[in-house]
Every structure is written in structure tokens, then in C-alpha cells.
Structure 1
Amino acid sequence: MRGVEKSMDNTKNLLNHVKDLLQKDERLVVNGELMKNKIIELALKLDKDFIELLLSDPRTKEMFFLSVGEVMIFDKDKFIRFIANKQFLPDSYTAFKNKIGLIDEKGEFISEKKDVVLSWPYKDCVLEGGMTKEDQKRDEIFWNETLAPDEISRLLEPKVFTNAKRIDKDGEHKFDGFGTDEKGDIKDNLLIKGNNLLILHSLKKRFAGKVKLIYIDPPYNPDSAANTFSYNNRFNHSTWLTFMKNRIEVAKTLLTLDGFFCIAIDHNELFYLGVLCDEIFGRENRIGIIAVETNPGGRSDSLFFATSHENFFVYARDITKAKINNLKMDEQELKQYKYEDEISRYKLVPLRRTGSNSTPDKRPNLYFPIFYDPKNKQISLEKKSGYIEILPIGADSIKRVWRWSKEKILSNLNDIEVKESKSGYMVFVKDRLRLEKKPKTLWHGSRYDASSYGTKLLQKFKLKGEFSYPKPLYLIKDIIQILSDKESIVLDFTAGSGTTAHALLELNKEDGGNRRFILCEQMDYVETITKERIKKLIKDRENDFVYLELMKWNEHFVEKIQQATTKEELAKLWETMKEKAFLSSKVDSKEVDKNAKDFEDLSLEDQKRLLLEALDKNHLYVNYSEIDDEAYGVSEEDKKLNRGFYEE
């Protein structure tokens, strides 16, 4: 007995000894505590400084190194088994601190640096990210990129597509193969149901470098009823950041070199999302942050300020190759051009400048008199008989300057007009009608009202149903107008009610464009709202689109579990799961059956939770690499569909 106690003491002493030694490596310490996964990561990489530290101590050298002649060989398997012992350190699955903030490249938090990135728990992980209400009730699986590379690779492999239909103005038809252009590229509009992270990775082979615009309206993660990303864990904020990082990184690979990424966001995650996108795209490729007033009345449920606007980040894939388009003038703007001469319609703009930098001491060359003959309506820069002198002096008697130089005025006399007012004569410039305008960073007007052109528009289609917060049609239309060309592919992997497809089809109808859309959506309303909306839109057009779904495997069992209403249903489902589902490696089905009585005593919700946890989340959908595996039962029709998509 004493020998056992002595052995336990020796083990404990060695554990403490190794802990003390590893504390000397600052990379392994966070808030005074060692990070188990970081230790394992450095051991797997055979990090030079880390190995030297272990060799510097006689006990660790003897314990974890083999002597072969004059060479010491590190037994990393033995070392990792030692570190993985729960007596050594509690389990840890992320190398990042349980704190959110800016860090430098060494991983240290900073307040002021030129080059910064965002750090948060689980940043080095991949989040599959189920979006249903039931998914929100379970703890998410964070696959660590360093410690679980096999799981990551399998999770992100291209998936099998199924249930394909071609849909046009005459309804749904049997899929007849993808349409292609002279280059062999798919020219069909696509609507795909399934997890968007997995769809994005499945799109890479066929669409990498071919998408001109990616627009997304992701879940905003607010602390309110509008939160569509309410994961029930203490890393809600970090979960959202991991969710976004995983998807934006792969989405970037789909963009053309002159392409754009545009993402909508409110104030809750504005700053963190901005730093995250700066990190992924490069700060130098951020071309604009747009504020859009989508709720002119302001939200009544706001605690302090009545929120009335949203924000849009716009990034170029490569700013040196990027070029944006102008916006068309709307009807309200066109009404301002109420005058007309033999050249065109125009509005009058004062030639006199205003503002703090518009004074003679700042711009002396722009302060001079203009002479005007009221009888003959003639303008001159020289003093003449019968001409009155006009200086750029405001109603407040402060001297200002003109907008134009003498040379420009002389060259454009036909565009100068003088009008008399109570305070004297004023000089105006004819601002001629332009059909287009350069986009500003502040968008407002009735066309961007989310109620009139979002919610009420869906009601007109009789599709509002369970969908909330649709984007205004004209907002998305203007984004597509500015950031794409007539032949562009536009991707929206958070498709929602399908506003992006609606806006794109409207724009094509107006300018004769041939833009194509790829929409992805995981929620079931993709069938009852998104697909039905697009079907209604193409009734009077020549357009069509292809509807696809990711082929489910364990996801099928997830849905069955969620839909079950009795324990008897779950009991039968468990028998099927044992035979056909991919169960987690942590689950021993024999042990579960041994404790069947304990399982029966659980509530229906607890039984559901345990069955969901029993499923391997890496097998939610069928991988394309296993399309010929008879266990999955992929039909010949679906095999043809997938080989056509993946060009094999």
C-alpha cells in the first residue's frame, strides 16, 4: 500500500515539476494558467525552443527522450499521453484566451498598434453551426484546426447534392443537367438548401475565383428578440465570431480578383466584425462603410437611442483591380432639376462657397468680384459701365469665396446665372442633369424602408409567414448595381427570404443584364418562402433556376429526433441509429443499452439531447468522395447530377 502511495506521490511530483518547467515558456501561459492544447500543439510541431526547454531539465530529458548513440529522440507520443492526463490540466480546446480584444502577432493584447488582429475563444476552431431552434439548445461542436485536422478535413469535404429540380415559369421539372457557357462554366441560377459552411466548401471546385459579388445579411447577434443566433453557451459572442470567420475565409476564395464582399451588420458586432474582416481581406482592401436608414421611425424597443439604421462593410478582393459603378438617380432626385435650357435640364447651385475653409485667407485666389448687367443679363469679370459688383459675401456679412476660379467662370459663362433676391443679387451655377451619381456613404430615403419594401413586399407575395426582418428590395438592388457587372455571378449564402434573387432579376430586366445568382439557406423556409418567391418572380420572365439540397445522413436523424413527440418514437429511432447512423466515438451503444432503464426515466427533452449528442456531427451530410459507397444509397440520377457539378 505504501508503494502505491509512494508511486502516486512521485507522479504528483512529476506533474508539478513539468508544470513548473513549462511555465517558463510564455507562449504556454494565459492569465497565469498553462494551456493544454498549446503544449500539445508545440509538441506535435517539434517546436525548437520547446524541445530545448524539455532537454534542459534532467527529469523531463530522462522521461521523454530516448538516447540513440549521441542523438536524443523525443518520444512525443509518450509526452502527449502524459499531458493529456486529466490530472495534469483540465481539458482545453482552444489556444486563445477567454477574453476578446486586439492582439499583436505574438498574441499579446495591445491598445495601440499599426497591425492588429482580433483574438477570441475558439478562434482556432471550426463551427459547423446549425441554425434551427433545436440546434440552438445544444452545445456546439468546435473542431480545433490544430488538434483535429482529420475531423476538419472530413467536415469540409465537398458534399453530395440531391433532390435537384429545374424551375421556370411553368413550374418544377425533372433536372436535365447544368447549363454551361462556352468556357464550360455553369450558367444556371442556383438555390441550395443546407449548411452554408459546407455549401461554400462544396462550391470551391466549380466557382473559385468566379464570383464578382458576395452579399450577405448574417444573423446580427443582438441581445434582443431579433437575435437569430441565440446559442445557449457562455461563448455566445465568440461563437458568432467563429461562425463568421469560418464562412468569410472560404467565401473570399470564391471572389474574382476584381470582386467585392459586402456584409450587413448592426451596432452589436460592428467593431469586432470590422477588425475580423480587416484581418481576412486586409485593411487596405476595405473600400467603404455605408450607413443605411432602413427604419426611419426608429425601433421602439431600443433602450436608449431609437435605432434607425444598419451598416454595410464593403471589401475588395484586391483594391488595385476594383472598380465600382455609379448609382442611378431616383425620382425624387430627378424632380430637383426643374429648369431647362437648350442643352438640358438643370438645378441651380450657389456659386458662393460656405464652410470653415471657404474664406479669403484660406483661398485668396477665389475671392474676387463678378460684374453683372441686370438689363442685358450679361456677366463679366471686368468692371464696366452699368454693371453692378457682386462679391461672395454671406447674409451674415462674412466674406466667402467662389467655387470656381476666374478661368473656369470665363470658360463656362453659359452655365452661370444671376438672380435677384431681397438681400441682393446671387450668382448660381447650372448643375446639369446627370442620370447617374457617385454613391455616398450615407443612404436614406423611402426606397430603403425595410417595412415598405421588405416586410410588406413579402405580404404582397403572401409569403411573410415565419420570416422576419427581410431586407428592402431597392437597397439590395443598389448594392448589386454598384458592385457587379451585367454578366456577374452574385452569391448570397444567408439567403433568407430571397431578396437578393429578387433584386438581381429586377435589375436584369431593367438593363438587359445576364447576372446570375447563387443562394444558400439552411432553414426550412427556403422551400416555403425563398423558393416560392423566386418562382412567382419568373412567371413572366424567361429566367429559370436550379434547386438543390445537400444530401443528409446524420442530419436526417437530427431532424427525426427534433420532430419526435413521444419516448416510444425515440426508442425506435435509437434502434435505427445504431444500425445506420454514424455515432460519436465517445458513445458506446452497448453501454447505452445496458442502462436503458436510466434512459427511459429521463424526460423527453433530455432523451432528445442525449441522442443528438450521440451523433457524429462530421457526418451530417454525405461526402462526395463516398458517393459510390452503397451504404449511403446515392441513386444513379444523383451520381450523374454530382459528377456534372464537380466536372467528373
Structure 2
Amino acid sequence: MTNLTNILAKLTALIEKNKAYIIDGSLNRNLLAADARKYDPELLNLLQKDAELKEHFFAATDGGLVFKKDVFLQFIMNKEFLPDSYTKYKIKIGLGADDGSLLSESGDVVLNWPYKDAILEGGQDKEDQKRSEVFFNEVLAPDQITRLFDDKVFTNWKRYDKDGERDLDELKDDDNLIIKGNNLVVLHSLKKRYAGRVKMIYIDPPYNTGNDSFGYNDRFNHASWLTFMRNRLNAAKMLLANDSVLAIQIDDDEHAYLKVLADEILGRDNFVKSIALKMSTASGVKTAHRDRTILKEKEHILIYKRGTLRVTPEYIKADEWDSEFQFVLEGKESGKYKVIKLSEYLKQNNIDANANSDEFKEFVIKNADIIWRRAFIRGSWKEKSLANPSEVIVNKGENGIAYYYGGRQMYFYKEKFHEFYDENTKKFGPSSLLGDLWADINTGRIFNEGGVELRNGKKAEQILARLLRMFTKPGDLVMDYHLGSGTTSAVAHKMGRQYIGIEQLYYGDNDPMNRLQNVINGDQSGISKGVNWQGGGSFVYANIMNNSNKFRKRVEAAMNDSDYLALLKEATSSSFLSYRVDPKKLNEEEFRKLSSAEKRRLLLELIDNNTLYVNYEDINDPLFKVSEKDKEFNKKLYEKN
């Protein structure tokens, strides 16, 4: 295996000998990159002087050597080269071309940021926990990510139903799943069984506002967040069916960046719409800063499709009377037609003409098939009507009966009647087709939905119910890999959709497990009354099996020198010690001299990151002590025909 550390050291030493690349006492990376791009003979000859560098940066052919320019450029753009951190991209976040060059150098534009070429493991397991990022670079650290995305072992299999929790005895293809663990690793582990099967993925990820659960403490927090999202979107898209959608709820802080990122990953041609969702009103304590900012009232839901988009139209209640409906057609049953103005008709029949009165509302509902407004038309029927402008012209066609008067078609009020949801109740009546502005959902009274709460914001069940009605049907598989308080799974359960929920954070009493148990027991909050939810059903729970991750957590919890020394001794004899570490050189006296932060950092760096979790291919290794039951259900998960 190539020793990347040696290559970096040798390359740095070799290049520093060439004074042409030293500007103001420092090695000039831009000058070096420019020479590489133009295949400068002096640079190429210099690189060939070292056998290991020659092997790494050149490919042998029958006619000689070919310089691997892209590999070389990625090495020198990596901050470790000068030195710094593993990344080929600019430290400044901005727009750039796919090869890392500036926008002006290419027409193919994608979003660039530090660590874009890296994998962010993101192993946080408590909402208020902050930790340094664990980055695995896709080019410079292949030895650290070779097995990160392999199938992993899951443990603690349970079924939850009306009788509570019990050991799992059967894993069925249509089971609902709740999986606890790192969502990136879990997504990759689900590919074998669920690739191409998920009809809708909804996520409400951390918004990177500083007030949510994205508690990473690196100074490139924005870059970390983008890397975090990119890694998971790349994994999630492999699970989508050919007629599916992916919906991402986000606020203004990252909306624009996320749109460009998602366009790159999911395809700009697959972008459907950015829904503006009203989440609050400009009132209360918010207005204290009204003279210094524009108050936030909305969030966004980015919708992307895969394959053919199928949408069930959604309608919302028409709260106001449409004053365009000004006429009444009498005599529809007898054929003796008479057109009269609505205002006159109301006066003749002593009906309150106030559109807000109960009497008026009742009248227009009962008479919706004779109240009409004028609709523009073209063609022969317009000509026939204009030829006899004072007569009602009737066309009995294949699609029903159409009426024309004065060169216009009659559009009856009953045409505005559709099924719609008022709060959580299904109704039929005058309604309007919903577009990309959703301002009708009450998001301010969801505190007790599902019997759980999250201080950083759970989402209203109505939002998920609407998305499920629009893009799925009963029996379809839906997924949420940022499950949070469990809204997506709770709504899917009540609406008869199969679901997979992934969550790596622990929320105590507000855990999605508790919410789903409430749902099974007949929870009547949220959309329950609207869908006549009476309880029932079940879900299967499992969590990813940790290996060295347990050691990592103990390091983070260590309090004193004795803790650190005990962990050092354990690490030197463990199975997860990195192959790059020589345990004989771990001097205890030198270790004692380090600060607590340095001890903790060193202990974490001793871990081979491929051993964070147990790989399925190692399930029979006695070292990991996987139970026979766990072996049985993992086999069913991965080896189902």
C-alpha cells in the first residue's frame, strides 16, 4: 500500500530544493500548479528523480511515462502538503469548476468548499454534543474509507406493537424499520436491500444556524455542513425508485447553497420546485428587531424527482367568496333557460347578499350547479354563441354538457368543488389548487403532537401528510434519515405507508421510539382524526453495532490522567489500532507530558477509522461476539433473494 505520508514528505522536500518555487521565503503552490498544468519539463524531470514519486505521479506506457497531472494537482492543493488539512478545494467558499479551478476558467459550474472531496463521518449521538469533524478524504485518504461504506452489522433487533417491546422473531419485507446509528453508514448499508425501492425521501436536516443539532466546532462550519449534506444525498439517491421524489426542508441560511449542491448531485433537470412554507407570523418578540431586519416567516422545501414525476393535486379551502361568480342559470332541468344576475336573484328570494353571512354561504353551496361566471373560449362554439348572444347554447359532448352565453362559456361554481383538508379534517367543497406557496398549515400548535417535543423544532404532521398525499400512495416505502422526533414515520404509519427512519441522536423522552409507540397505541394528536386513526401496526428496531466507536466515546468522556493512561494501554493491544501506528513507540512518559486535549487527540488518532463499526463480512469473527440472533437477522437483511 502506498504510504501517503512519505509521498507528501518527499514531495515537499524535493520541491523546496527548487528556489524557483520559493517566493518571499515560502513555497508558492500556485506557481507549482501552473507549471504542472503546462507540463513544465524541469518540473517533470525533478519529480522523476525519486522512485516513489515517479511511481505515484507517472503511468508507465510502451512509449515511456505519462504524467498524472490531476493526481499531482490534487496533492499540492491538499492543505497537508504545506501542511494543512485533507482537501483539494479552496479555503474560501464559492463557485468553481469541477476540477477545483476558478469560475472564470470553466463553464461547468458546481459549488466548491473546503472538504468537498472528503467524507464527513458525523458521529454525533447527542443533540447538544459538539465534536471535531472526522473527515476521510476520497483521494488522499483512500485507506481510511475503503471499508466505511461496506455493509455493517446491526444488533438489538426488537419489534414494537400494541403489546410493547419484544424480541424480533421474523423480519418481513414490508416491515417498518427504525434504525439508530450514523445515518451515512446506515444509508450505505441499506443499499443492497432497498436500492431503487423508496418512493419518497423527506429530510429536515440540521439547518447549520448555530441553534440546531449540527454542533460541529470546526471553523469551517459551513463547509462541514455542505460536506455532511453531500455525502448523505449521494447515498440517498441510490435508494430512490424511478418514479420517486426527494424533499428537503431548509431555511434561508443554507437554502441557496443547498439548491446548487442538490442540482449537482440529483440533476438540475430533476429539480421540481422550491416550496415556500409559512412557519410563523411576524409578531411577538420577533418584532423587537423590525427596524433592523426583515422578519423570518417561511422555510423552503426543495423537491427533486427521479424518473417520471407523479403528483396527486392538492387543494386548499377557498376562504373568500369569488365575486367573479355573478350570474345564475335558471331552467337547467326543464331546458327553459333564463340568465339572471346573482344579486337580483338573491334580492328576489330575500337571501342575505353579504358573502360572509351563513345564509349566503349555505345558498351558494346548495346552488353551486347554477351559479356561474364567464370563461373565455375560442373556436366554433364561440362563433355560434356570438351569433345568438342572448340565447343559451348547449353542447352535449363526450366530456359532459357545456353551456355558452354571449360568446363565453359558463363556468359553474361546482367546478371549484374538490376534496381538501381543513386543518386535519377531510372535506369537500369550494377550494383552490395548491401551488408552491403553502401558507395554510398551522405550525404554531404542534407542541404536543405525538406526545413528544423537541426544543429545536419538530415539524407539523400536516406538512408530511400533504407531501405523502401528493407523491405516494398506501403501501409505498418512504424514508427519513434525519428522523428527529419521528414526525415522518408517525404520519407514514397513520397513513398506511411503509417507512424507514434513521436517527443517530438520542432524545430521551422525546425519542421517535416513544412517539411511534404512542401512535401504535392510538395517539389522537396531529392528523389522527382526519385519517380516522385507531392505532395498531408495528415497527422493527435495530441499531448499528459499534466497535472502536465505543472506545472513541470513552476517550471523549475521559476526565483525568489515569483515564487517559488506561485508554492508551487498551488501544495499544486492541484490534482497532491503526496499522500506521507502531505500538512499541508509544512512550508512556512522553504521553504523560501532553496536555489533556493533546492526549485526547492522540488517542482518537490511534483508531483505525475502518473499525468504527463491525462489517457484515466479519460477522462470524469471534472477536466481535455477534449473537446468533443478530447473525440470523443480518443475514435476512443482506441476503434476501
Shorter-chain TM-score tier: 0.7 to 0.9
Give the 3-state SS of the residue equivalent to 2:626 in structure 1.
Answer: coil
- Could you tell me whether the CA contact under 8 Å between 1:165 and 1:174 is conserved in 2? yes
Paired AA for residue 506 in structure 2 = D
Question: Equivalent residue for 1:6?
Answer: none
CA 1:263–1:349: 2 relative to 1, 3 Å: farther
Question: Equivalent residue for 2:549?
Answer: 555
| Alpha-carbon distance, 1:478 to partner | 0.6
CA 1:383–1:555: 2 relative to 1, 3 Å: closer
Question: Equivalent residue for 2:471?
Answer: 483
Question: Equivalent residue for 1:533?
Answer: 515
- Could you tell me whether the CA contact under 8 Å between 1:285 and 1:317 is conserved in 2? yes
Question: Equivalent residue for 1:359?
Answer: none
Q: Distance between the aligned counterparts of 1:12 and 1:156, measured in 2?
A: 32
Give the 3-state SS of the residue equivalent to 1:552 in structure 2.
Answer: coil
| Alpha-carbon distance, 1:539 to partner | 1.6
Paired AA for residue 538 in structure 2 = D
Question: Equivalent residue for 2:83?
Answer: 90
Question: Equivalent residue for 2:138?
Answer: 145
Q: Deviation per CA, 1:436-480: give whole Å up to 9, x if none.
A: 5643100012x341x312x3325xx1x33x643001111111111
Question: Equivalent residue for 1:124?
Answer: 117
| Alpha-carbon distance, 1:228 to partner | 2.1
Q: Distance between the aligned counterparts of 1:491 and 1:99, measured in 2?
A: 34
Question: Equivalent residue for 1:316?
Answer: 305
Q: Distance between the aligned counterparts of 1:63 and 1:575, measured in 2?
A: 38
Question: Equivalent residue for 1:611?
Answer: 603
Paired AA for residue 327 in structure 1 = E
TM-score (norm 2): 0.73
Q: Deviation per CA, 1:468-501: give whole Å up to 9, x if none.
A: 3001111111111111122210010000000001
- Could you tell me whether the CA contact under 8 Å between 1:339 and 1:345 is conserved in 2? no
Determine which of 416, 437, 442 is the counterpart of 1:442.
Answer: 437
Give the 3-state SS of the residue equivalent to 1:583 in structure 2.
Answer: coil
Give the 3-state SS of the residue equivalent to 2:208 in structure 1.
Answer: coil
Question: Equivalent residue for 2:252?
Answer: 267
| Alpha-carbon distance, 1:102 to partner | 2.2
Where in structure 2 are the equivalents of 1:156-305 lying within 5 Å?
A: 156-179=149-172, 186-222=173-209, 224=210, 226-297=211-282, 300=285, 304-305=293-294
Q: Distance between the aligned counterparts of 2:44 and 2:459, measured in 1?
A: 62
The alignment status of 1:594 with 2:585, answered yes or no, reads no
Question: Equivalent residue for 1:155?
Answer: 148
CA 1:112–1:221: 2 relative to 1, 3 Å: farther
- Could you tell me whether the CA contact under 8 Å between 1:476 and 1:499 is conserved in 2? yes
CA 1:545–1:72: 2 relative to 1, 3 Å: same
Q: Distance between the aligned counterparts of 1:482 and 1:299, measured in 2?
A: 34
CA 1:19–1:234: 2 relative to 1, 3 Å: farther
Paired AA for residue 468 in structure 1 = N
Give the 3-state SS of the residue equivalent to 2:247 in structure 1.
Answer: strand
- Could you tell me whether the CA contact under 8 Å between 1:300 and 1:306 is conserved in 2? no
Q: Distance between the aligned counterparts of 2:299 and 2:370, measured in 1?
A: 31
- Could you tell me whether the CA contact under 8 Å between 2:95 and 2:111 is conserved in 1? yes
Give the 3-state SS of the residue equivalent to 2:435 in structure 1.
Answer: coil
- Could you tell me whether the CA contact under 8 Å between 1:136 and 1:232 is conserved in 2? no
CA 1:200–1:411: 2 relative to 1, 3 Å: farther
Q: Distance between the aligned counterparts of 2:371 and 2:230, measured in 1?
A: 49
Question: Equivalent residue for 1:325?
Answer: 312
Q: Distance between the aligned counterparts of 2:145 and 2:406, measured in 1?
A: 66
Q: Distance between the aligned counterparts of 1:384 and 1:234, measured in 2?
A: 76
Residue correspondences, number: 544
- Could you tell me whether the CA contact under 8 Å between 1:213 and 1:491 is conserved in 2? yes
CA 1:507–1:189: 2 relative to 1, 3 Å: same
Q: Distance between the aligned counterparts of 1:415 and 1:190, measured in 2?
A: 53
Q: Deviation per CA, 1:520-540: give whole Å up to 9, x if none.
A: 000122785210110110124
Give the 3-state SS of the residue equivalent to 1:155 in structure 2.
Answer: coil
| Alpha-carbon distance, 1:326 to partner | 1.8
Question: Equivalent residue for 2:621?
Answer: 629
Identity of aligned pairs, percent? Answer: 35
| Alpha-carbon distance, 1:381 to partner | 7.8
Q: Distance between the aligned counterparts of 1:215 and 1:70, measured in 2?
A: 53
Question: Equivalent residue for 1:506?
Answer: 494
Q: Deviation per CA, 1:493-525: give whole Å up to 9, x if none.
A: 0000000011112323xxxxxx10100000122
Q: Deviation per CA, 1:299-357: give whole Å up to 9, x if none.
A: 84676222111101000012xx111112254596999993568987579786489xxxx
| Alpha-carbon distance, 1:432 to partner | 3.5
- Could you tell me whether the CA contact under 8 Å between 1:125 and 1:144 is conserved in 2? yes
Cα RMSD for the two superposed structures: 4.5
Paired AA for residue 196 in structure 1 = N
Q: Distance between the aligned counterparts of 1:133 and 1:249, measured in 2?
A: 24
- Could you tell me whether the CA contact under 8 Å between 1:168 and 1:543 is conserved in 2? yes
CA 1:331–1:607: 2 relative to 1, 3 Å: farther
Paired AA for residue 417 in structure 2 = L
Paired AA for residue 551 in structure 1 = M
- Could you tell me whether the CA contact under 8 Å between 1:298 and 1:308 is conserved in 2? no
- Could you tell me whether the CA contact under 8 Å between 1:102 and 1:111 is conserved in 2? no
Give the 3-state SS of the residue equivalent to 1:304 in structure 2.
Answer: coil
Comparing 132-141 with 197-206, which one deviates more in the overlay? 132-141
CA 1:545–1:237: 2 relative to 1, 3 Å: same
Question: Equivalent residue for 1:182?
Answer: none
Task: Return 5+ residue gaps in structure 1 as ranges.
Answer: 1-10, 43-48, 180-185, 354-362, 370-378, 388-406, 418-427, 509-514
Paired AA for residue 301 in structure 2 = F
Q: Distance between the aligned counterparts of 1:299 and 1:530, measured in 2?
A: 31
CA 1:584–1:490: 2 relative to 1, 3 Å: same
Q: Distance between the aligned counterparts of 2:509 and 2:155, measured in 1?
A: 14
| Alpha-carbon distance, 1:584 to partner | 4.0
The alignment status of 1:103 with 2:96, answered yes or no, reads yes
Q: Distance between the aligned counterparts of 2:12 and 2:316, measured in 1?
A: 76
Q: Deviation per CA, 1:218-245: give whole Å up to 9, x if none.
A: 00011x4x23213212211111111100
- Could you tell me whether the CA contact under 8 Å between 1:197 and 1:246 is conserved in 2? yes
Q: Distance between the aligned counterparts of 1:267 and 1:34, measured in 2?
A: 39
Q: Distance between the aligned counterparts of 1:284 and 1:608, measured in 2?
A: 47
Give the 3-state SS of the residue equivalent to 1:639 in structure 2.
Answer: helix
Q: Distance between the aligned counterparts of 1:53 and 1:628, measured in 2?
A: 54
Comparing 576-585 with 161-170, which one deviates more in the overlay? 576-585
Question: Equivalent residue for 2:6?
Answer: none
CA 1:12–1:537: 2 relative to 1, 3 Å: closer
Q: Distance between the aligned counterparts of 2:619 and 2:364, measured in 1?
A: 70
CA 1:498–1:201: 2 relative to 1, 3 Å: same
- Could you tell me whether the CA contact under 8 Å between 2:316 and 2:433 is conserved in 1? no
Give the 3-state SS of the residue equivalent to 2:485 in structure 1.
Answer: coil
Q: Distance between the aligned counterparts of 2:613 and 2:14, measured in 1?
A: 45
| Alpha-carbon distance, 1:565 to partner | 4.9
Q: Distance between the aligned counterparts of 2:84 and 2:283, measured in 1?
A: 46
TM-score (norm 1): 0.72
- Could you tell me whether the CA contact under 8 Å between 1:55 and 1:61 is conserved in 2? no
Determine which of 397, 410, 419 is the counterpart of 2:404.
Answer: 410
- Could you tell me whether the CA contact under 8 Å between 1:351 and 1:429 is conserved in 2? no
| Alpha-carbon distance, 1:213 to partner | 0.3
| Alpha-carbon distance, 1:54 to partner | 4.7
